Amino acid sequence: MTETTEEVVERLHDDIRKKVYEINEENFISWEDQWKNAQERWKVHLREWSILSRQVKTLGKETRVWIEARREDLKENWKNSEFDPQKEGK
């Protein structure tokens, strides 16, 4: 029995559908898994952002303490520097 053109085309389409399904099943992540992955990544982002925020806040506090402890020295060094704005105006 010989196949008609339509039967050959239909058989080829079936083969292609099977191959596409196999490729999709083997190589692609399901939407559900992708959603779970995105949620987990967001949790990591939030933890890292929280850590960063705390570190920046701590850095600001420590910098303020450092500057306050050296305020007079910094003023004197600034006055004696070439970048003193009061000297430029004279």
CB-CB contact of 78 with 70 (8 Å): no
Q: Residue 81 carries which DSSP code?
A: S
- Joined tokens for residue 73: 């020295």
Domain that holds residue 48: 5-89
Number of compact structural domains in the chain:
1
Q: How many residues does the chain have?
A: 90
Q: Which sign, positive or negative, has the C-alpha torsion 77, 78, 83, 84?
A: negative
The pLDDT tens digits of the residues spanning 2-44 come to: 778 888 888 888 888 887 777 666 667 778 989 999 999 999 9
Q: For the whole prediction, is pTM greater than 0.75?
A: no
